[in-house]
Amino acid sequence: MALVDPIEIQSSRINLKPFTSNDAEECYACITPSLTRYMSWDPPQDQAAFELIWRVWLNTIKAGSDLNFVIRHKLNHEFLGLVGLHQSLGTTPELGIWIREDRHGFGYGKEAVTTIVHWASTRNDLQHFIYPVAVENHSSRQIAESLNGLAIYCSQQPKYKSMTYHIPKSVKRT
């Protein structure tokens, strides 16, 4: 399922659009070691290294197989972070989220994940979502639990201990 039409998903405060090269500079500026402490990846060494990463994203977005959405504030279009729908062609896509550090605590992460879950749940063949989070990342665990996520298993990752949640397919919003 290749993405042909432009996607824009909206909620009350945010807009989600697939990442483009125009988002790269703002995105890169927000990726810090403290931001990525609970992520499986580390910050890219420089903008050239980040370009190698986001160019792959462009291909997977175009193919529809791995979707990285830029989160922007609806009113002022401020870059807030990214929300991912990974392995999006399968029946159990994986969720991922990060919000720039100076915007933590405002509920943007929960709003972005909830919005993407509702949007993606319109697929008929979807069983549930997978949402791996660091055990110590209480904010991300609260997001999973607010979506009726069920903790399925723990595993040791290179940087942290991870809890994987299964989040049910949402009922379509009316």
Residue 1 confidence class, pLDDT cut points 50, 70, 90: very low
d(CA 116, CA 113): 5
The domain of 114 spans 9-126
pLDDT at position 174 is 34
Q: What is the mean pLDDT of the chain?
A: 94
Tally of structural domains, the chain: 1
pTM: 0.93
- Residue 151, domain member (yes or no): no
- Residue 172, domain member (yes or no): no
- Residue 121, domain member (yes or no): yes
- Residue 136, domain member (yes or no): no
Q: Above 70 in pLDDT, residue 173?
A: no
Cβ 78 vs Cβ 90: under 8 Å = no
pLDDT in tens, 108-164: 999 999 999 999 998 768 999 999 999 999 999 999 999 999 999 999 999 999 999
d(CA 49, CA 119): 31
- Residue 108, domain member (yes or no): yes
- Residue 14, domain member (yes or no): yes
Distances in whole angstroms, Cα of residue 152 to Cα of each of 37, 121, 165: 22, 20, 6
Residue 52 confidence class, pLDDT cut points 50, 70, 90: very high
CATH code, domain carrying 68: 3.40.630.30
Residue 13 CA, distance from chain mean position: 16
